Amino acid sequence: MKDNGVAQGLLLSPPLTSGAPLPNEQVLELCRKSDGLLLPVLTVAPTRAGVKAAVLLARGNRRSVKGFKILLGYYQVFASSKVFDELYQYAEEEGLPVMFHTGDTADSRGSLVHSHPLTLDSLANARPELTIVACHFGNPWMEDVAELIYKHENLYADMSGLEAKGSPYSDRYATWLVGKLNAAVYFAGGADKIIFGTDYPVTSYSTALGLVSKLDVSRGEKGKVLSANAKRVFRL
């Protein structure tokens, strides 16, 4: 992070070799050891026990927890499920954003029906006080996410995990990706709702920063994406 000029970042539960998420308690511990470089986001299992545990942990670490993450397609659950009501209520009260995995899943067994970004529309309608972040810009449904961030005052999108290497068409894919992100900025009337992210180690810091540098927007808009928006949404 420091080598790439990244001053601070959010640590979401990274997958272990087993594919299971790292326990939230360990995420908190890693953040404590980082001297303020990393800030924790708690991953929430779609069960009453999982929700209660996440809320309890957030209450006990109120000064450090910056938000929550729900893995829709991997758990095959919709964002509007009643199981999350207690979580959403707490997040609204505390002004904490809830991040949702949207778009393609790394696991072929993931459910695209559940991870499609348009499933967030009904939640944003029902809970206008809840800050919602569509992770990975809903890739490949990026135009749908552009509509969501334009329509809903409380809905944002991050750019994490978008650019990949290794394909013979990687360069052309990167060009397509920049075009989609530019179109989203133009459609939304600015970059106020777009947040920088890496999903490291899926995407390296240098690659993610390079993607922002390629956007055909003003320097001020790039500054919003790289820093200002995240500071506002996550209260960094």
pLDDT in tens, 56-93: 999 999 999 999 999 999 999 999 999 999 999 999 99
pTM of the model: 0.95
34 CA to centre of own chain: 21
The verdict on whether omega for the bond into residue 14 sits within 30 degrees of 0, i.e. cis, is: no
Residues 6+ apart with CB under 8 A from 168: none
The mean pLDDT value for 31-51 works out to: 96
CB 193 within 8 A of CB 156: yes
Structure tokens at 186: 């133009």
For domain 2-234, the question of CATH label 2.60.40.420 is answered with no
pLDDT in the model for residue 202: 83
